Structure 1
Amino acid sequence: MVSSPDVTVVIPTLNRPELVTRAVRSVLDQTLRNLEVVVVVDGPDEATHKALAALGDDRLRVQEQPRRGGAPAARNAGVRAARGEFVAFLDDDDEWLPGKLQAQVDLARGGKVATPIVITRLFVRTPRTEFVLPRRLPDPGEPISEWLTVRKGPFHGDGFIQTSTIMAPTALLKEVPFKEDLRRLQEMDWSLRALDRDGVDLLIVDEPLVVWYADENRPRISDDAPIRASLAWLRGVRPLVTRRAYAALAMTQVSSMAAQSHSPKVFGTLLYESVRHGRPGVRDVVTFAQIWLVPTRLRRIVRDKLIARRGGH
């Protein structure tokens, strides 16, 4: 067991022993060796305990939650148990390339930011294609909230943060934990709240070092998000984002969840929020219309075909 690791890797899981074993192996194979892995099992799960015990690595610790609390609660529990200077998160159905942690630690210790949040680019693998996000790094002076939300194409925005790319100081994560009652946009919510603190800034490794398996046939906790909770979250983050970013959030990210309700009332509410409190652009309005008019699966198929034609960029 590593007594003073550089990084603690926190992996929440439940009832997916084969997937979490793949994820853990990708951590144990990192070129950065001074690390520990804390797998937080979100409730009773004997098969996962057996699968992880078979790995036989003393850098791995497994702790079981007394009751199911969801991925954000499991991540917070892992942070509380962390002994490393930094914590990096990995979802149990994703994996890392070997140099991921070393690249992040090197960038974090470069001395340019007092409290650095370090992310990397990632490969998004769907059943039909593969592409890289984020598409670009933030421009000088560009608000991070706009880089994360404003789209310059019909699908994903240029900026992107996914949980499996995040590494941050353990002290920051203890001061700014994940919201445990939030089912969607957990990375966005945490990033906006953390980056609002003095001395905190975002650093990005300009290389895809994470593989995100966006398998639409595999159920995810985040696939189900109450509409009222999503609207409440949107209104709650308004002080943390620009008007341009607020409109983009309402018309793209929140709409992509709410459109499954086919509710004219929700449609009208999001349109009102965008115009009353935001500053929507033409691209936001076009995206808003297609989200509400085109079925989700068809949009994903069209997205992947267009990206494949462009060679995954």
Structure 2
Amino acid sequence: MSTPPDVSVVIPTLNRPELAVRAVRSALDQTHRELEVIVVVDGPDPATEAALAQVGDDRLRVLVLAERGKAPNARNQGALAARGKWTALLDDDDEWLPTKIEAQLRLAATATRPSPVVATRMISRTPRADNVMPRRLPAPGEPLSEYFTVRRGLFYGDGFIQTSTIMAPTELLRRVPFTVGLRRQQELDWALRAVREKDVELLYADEPLVLWHQDEDRDRISLQNPWEEQLAWQRANRELFTPRAYAAYTMSVLSSMAAPTRSGKVFRELLSEARTHGRPGPLDYVTFLQIWTLPPALRARLRDLIVGRRASASSPASSSAETESPGKVDAR
């Protein structure tokens, strides 16, 4: 490109050429044209390089890393290479709707702080149904750690942020990089650290502008449940949470990872963690017990029945396709 773009799009990928090309095309098809797309190939991958070479758009740049470092590192490398004032993140298995960047830039212009993080709602798509997430946006003055973690019902999806919805100043992504080595809750970790910066505010576009593909026929690290790693991260970052949020996270997200152990010792450890360092509410106890006592398949059926019925009553196009624990994982 002869002139610097307004927005740099960073897409980490490895060994998924068809998905990477789909993501790239959704970025290049944006109504806002002054952008570049940086695909960060996370280690040698000739098939992906060959597929991207067929795209035929001079706004596409391909950065091949010498060795694999996983998605958080790839995002950081993409932000370092970005030329735009803004950097928007896109996972290789997701897609954007055409007006996403245009809507985010319009919203960014209304910011009251110099470094706004601009997110959007998204469509969570499974073979069963589509569901718009988050179901609600942050209330004025609501602590963001509570917005992301505290449930108002038995099932997740009230507050939410996902990597492919995020656009932020490139300088901020360099100042607050993604945590390399963290397998789960990468966007939650980043968002909670970013909003602690004095010049940052979080804005949400009301429209669902990202298509989040779930339950597709491919390997996913989400089939693993690294609850011990996640507990260590949570303990090391306790200052990011209010006591209310710390308890809610422990008794919902973390418990969803740990419950397949069916271990009474782990059950007691997490309950003690929430009570000692957090402030659980009544719904947290109900959530905790249903996660530990009901089989995951039964919980999913109940979720589909309850949330789907509620959603269909308000919007025929919306149904329940949410996950028990939020956030993308590093599947590459």
Q: 1:218 to 1:294 in 2, by over 3 A?
A: farther
Alpha-carbon distance, 1:226 to partner: 2.9
Aligned to 1:250: 250
Matched residue, 2:5 = 5
Moved over 4 A (4+): none
Cα distance, 1:222 vs structure 2: 4.3
- Bigger drift between 278-287 and 217-226 goes to 217-226
Q: Is the 8 A contact 1:38 1:62 kept in 2?
A: yes
SS in 1 for 2:24: helix
User: What pairs up with 1:1-313 in 2 under 5 angstroms?
Assistant: 1=1, 3-215=3-215, 217-309=217-309, 310-311=311-312, 312=318
Work out the percentage of aligned pairs sharing the same amino acid. Answer: 60
Alignment partners' CA distance in 1, 2:46 and 2:297: 35
Q: Please report how far the alpha carbon of residue 216 of structure 1 lies from its aligned counterpart in structure 2 after TM superposition.
A: 5.7
CA-based RMSD of the aligned residues comes to 1.5
Question: Residues 13 and 39 of structure 1 are in contact (CA less than 8 Å); yes or no, is this contact kept in structure 2?
Answer: yes
* Paired letter, 2:159: G
Secondary structure of residue in 2 paired with 1:43:
coil
In structure 1, C-alpha distance between the alignment counterparts of 2:115 and 2:54, rounded to whole Å: 37
Distance 1:301 1:47, change over 3 A: farther
Is the contact made by 1:230 and 1:254 (CA closer than 8 Å) also made in structure 2?
yes
Q: Distance in 1 between matches of 2:280 and 2:93?
A: 35
Question: Deviation string for 1:205-241 (max 9, x for gaps)?
Answer: 0110001011164322344353321111111221121
- CA distance change for structure 1 residues 88 and 297 in 2, over 3 Å: closer, same or farther? farther
Give the residue type in structure 2 aligned to 1:112: T
- What is the match of residue 323 of structure 2? none
Please list the CA deviations of residues 81-134 of structure 1 after superposition, one character each: whole Å capped at 9, or x if unmatched. Answer: 111101111111110000000111111122422210000000011121111111
| SS of residue matched to 1:174 | helix
- Within 1, Cα distance between the matches of 2:221 and 2:40? 16
Q: TM-score, normalised by structure 1?
A: 0.96
Matched position secondary structure for 2:37: strand
**DSSP-derived class of the 1:159 partner:** coil
* TM-score calculated relative to the size of structure 2: 0.90
Per-residue deviation, residues 18-76 of structure 1 (Å, max 9, x unmatched): 11111111001000100000111112211111111111000001111111111111111
CA distance in 2, matches of 1:26, 1:155: 30
Distance 1:48 1:67, change over 3 A: same
Q: 1:239 is paired with a residue of what secondary structure?
A: helix
Opposite residue 266 of structure 2, the aligned amino acid is V
Aligned residues: 313
| CA deviation after TM superposition for structure 1 residue 298, in Å | 3.5
Aligned amino acid, residue 166 of structure 1: I
C-alpha deviations, 1:142-193, integer Å up to 9, x for none?
Answer: 1111111100111114110000000111111101100011000001000011
120 and 267 in structure 1: CA distance in 2 versus 1, 3 angstrom threshold? same
User: Matches of 2:287 and 2:217 in 1, distance apart?
Assistant: 24
Check 1:11–1:298 CA distance in 2 against 1; reply closer, same or farther (3 A cut): farther
Whether contact under 8 Å (1:183, 1:225) holds in the other structure is no
